[in-house]
Amino acid sequence: MRYSRRDFLKATAGSGLIALTTGSDGVVAAFAAPPVPIPTPMTKETATFNINGRNYQAEYEARTTLWEVIAVKLGLTGTNRSCNRASCGACSVLLDGTPFYSCHTLAMEAVGKKIFTVEGLGDEKNLHPMQKIGYLYMAADCGFCTPGWEVTAKGLLDKNLNPSVDEVKSALAGHICRCAAYSAIIRTVIDTGKVLRGEAEL
């Protein structure tokens, strides 16, 4: 049997890619990677988002953030985006009951999860107790940070209906209010807990 140079090259190509890597200790290790086809990466796709119990279809790019899907593509403009750098908390939403900054979560992370935004809390005809109490205590001054902390406070009250002041402070620590209505916000959350427990009347 004769071996030609072409046969040898064919056999090498068939046995898979030979990758050379240098370990950080300087050892050169050669290995034959299994010939598994690498899938094409995702750049754009369409998916269903479950927001406040309703399903919405949206097309998004890999780089699209969750806030861009909620507020720009789907038009649920209650969720505000302020810093876009995961600092201020105005854009918070709940994913399966856990608060996340929606400006700093890629849209693909929220697919298949239950998204809760401030629209799910109440509307002008039917305010949530937190919104009524916040209105009475002037917890929303300019109102830009309000959707964010209300949603996070809802997430806290779903788990703990009787939070202490320190628990409210540590749960809402990721939110900045430029009007500095912090004391009113904390009182609102604690008194909302009282109303939801049935200990106080609105």
Partner 1 sequence: MKKISVYRPTSIEEAIQILSLHGTDAGVYAGGTDLLIRLKNRLKQAPTFLVDIKKIGNLRYIKETPQGGVQIGALTKLAEIAESDVLAKKYPMLVQAFKMISSPELRNASTLGGDLLQEVWCQYLRGAYSCWRNGGYICYGAIGDNSYYHSAMGGRLCYAVYPGDAAPALITLDATVKIAGPSGIKEMSVEQLVPGDMMVDGRIQSHVVRFNEILTEVVIPPPNAGFRASFEKLRPRGVWDFAMASAALGLQLRDRTIEDARVVFGGIAGKPYRERAVEAFLKEKTLSADLANQALAAALANAAPLKYNATKIDMAKGLLASGLDKLAAS
- Assign 28 to helix, strand or coil: strand
User: Interface with partner 1 by CB under 8 A: which range of 57-65, 118-126, 132-140, 183-191?
Assistant: 57-65
Q: Is residue 31 within the footprint of partner 1 (CB under 8 A)? A: yes
As a whole number of angstroms, the longest Cα–Cα distance in the chain is 96
Identity of the residue, 76 or 107, whose beta carbon is nearer to partner 1 in the bound complex = 107
User: Using CB under 8 A, which of 2, 4, 5, 42 touches partner 1?
Assistant: 42
Nearest distance from C-beta of residue 146 to partner 1, angstroms: 16
Q: Is residue 117 within the footprint of partner 1 (CB under 8 A)? A: no
Q: What is the DSSP letter of 58?
A: E
Identity of the residue, 98 or 183, whose beta carbon is nearer to partner 1 in the bound complex = 98
Q: What DSSP line would sit under 135-184, residue for residue?
A: HHHT--SS-SSHHHHHHHHHHHHHH-SS--HHHHHHHTTT---TT--HHH
User: Using CB under 8 A, which of 173, 180, 200, 202 touches partner 1?
Assistant: 173
Q: What are phi and psi of 86, to 5 degrees?
A: 60, 40
